Structure formats: C-alpha cells, structure tokens
Amino acid sequence: MPHKLYAMTKPLILVTNDDGITAPGLRALIRFMKEIGDVVVVAPDSPQSGMGHAITIDNTLYIKKSQRDLENGIEQEYSCSGTPADCVKLGLQELLDRKPDLCVSGINHGSNSSINVIYSGTMSAAIEAGIEGIPAIGFSLCDYSWDANFDLAKESIQKIVQEALQNGIPKGVVLNVNIPKTTSEAPKGIRICRQARANWKEKFDKRTNPTGKEYYWLTGEFELLDKGEDTDEFALSQGYISVVPTQFDLTAHHAIQLINNWNLND
C-alpha cells in the first residue's frame, strides 16, 4: 500500500474511534484535527462499542482505503475490519511511514467516564497507542444521539490537543476526556479529575425467540458510589469537561507490601 510523505512542519495525528468510520463523532474529530496537523484516519468499518481492548487473533484483518474525506484534504483514510485496538496496531505497523506525534480516539457517542473506561473501545484504542509510546487522548461526548452537536466542544478539544502537543503527556499515561451533554452552550470549562467510583447494576432480560430458543439482552443501571467533588462524574454534572489521566500499568502498587506479608513461601 503506498505511503504518503509528510511535511515535518505540522504534527502527524492518528485519528481512530470505536463507533465506526461513518460516525459523526469521528467526522467531527477529523475536522477539528485537520486545523492542527496532518491527519491519518484508521477506524473500524463497523461499530465496535464495548469491545474494550480486544484484538483479532482468530480471523483475518482487512484494510480498505476510504474516499470519504478527500475533499477536505484527508488523503490517508482507511477502514479496518478489526477492533479499535487492531486499527491502531495496523496504523502504526503497516500504514504510517513515521511515528505520529499524537493519537486521538473518538469522539465517542456516549460517556466513557468512571467505570465505563474499562469497557470502552474508544479508550482502548488510545491506550494501545500509549502502550506503543504515542501520546494519546480519548474523547467522548455524553450524548448517544447520532446527530449530537459536537461543534460546541470544538474549542476545548483543540485546546486540550494543542496543550498535549506542546507540553507532552507523561509516559505511561493516556488522557480520558469526557464532554457533558449540552444543547446550545459550550461547556463551562475543563477540570482535571480522578475517576469516580461506580459500577453497573446489571440485569439480563431473558426472552424466547419464535423457535422457542431462549436468549438474553444485557440491561442495567449506572450506580455512582462516589460523593467526591474532584471526580469526572461531578465535573460532568456541573457542566465541565473532565480530563482523567489514565494509566495502563494495572499494578496495585499500594497492595504489594500487604500481599508480601502472606505466607506464600512457607
């Protein structure tokens, strides 16, 4: 597949998502990033929400060059048959001829705050880039509507990206950015937060199909367990964008000494 030679005067930005290459949130993020740097898009060819950090190991992967955004100067845009993490892996290993300065994922249709980050394909794509040493940010809008207004957050998104490019993101850290749902006004501002403690109180809706075979739909309610005013959920409830520095080192460092006190070697 032919590669494009990039001018070194602009940052190279890899754009991906989990809602698929036709999603309005992705199209908006492409527009916003095009005003900042050279853009390469590698996104799933179909929706991949809730895939987490899944990768394809038992099937073939396909890449198709897209013609969707040629009129906007995006000459390298590809759809991928795999997961969001697959998209980043293929983008970095097969499609780019130099290391991108930044990877941005989104804009997701729906929240990825609090515990949702665990299941998020949007954030997993960003985390995959972070694992590869690429500064990365995942963006989500707390609005599931296909026709959600992403432009209200354009200025804030571009500001976060420009600050990340100028100042860098700490090694081993990926930013999880969530934008409150607004209908006519831009968010009030940006808050650096911690991840709120919460979980999903899940239920399975059991049904029977016309042939008599039972099947299940996963349902549930979000349960906030955190009253703190320094969390992403609190910031969003007050109309602010939340920025949570997220790490992919899952070691519970504070628990190492406790576990060392167990009698494991006696």
What residues are designated binding site for a divalent metal cation? 18-19, 49, 108
How far apart, in whole angstroms, are the C-alpha atoms of residue 171 and residue 130? 8
Q: Which amino acid is at 77?
A: E
- Residue closest to 25 by CA, chosen among 109, 85, 102: 109
The 3-class secondary structure across 152-219, one letter per residue, is: HHHHHHHHHHHHHHHHCCCCCEEEEEEECCCCCCCCCCEEECECCCEEEEEEEEEEECCCCCEEEEEE
Positions at the binding site: 18-19, 49, 108
In 3-state terms, what secondary structure has residue 64? strand
- Tokens found for residue 69: 């955004």
Burial of residue 253 (number of CB atoms within 10 Å: 0-12, 13-18, 19+): exposed
**For tokens 């048959």, what's the residue?**
81
Q: Where are the alpha helices (DSSP H) in 24-148?
A: 24-34, 84-90, 121-131
User: 43 with 26: CB under 8 angstroms?
Assistant: yes
- d(CA 137, CA 176) in angstroms, rounded, equals 6
- CA 45 – CA 84 distance, rounded (Å): 10
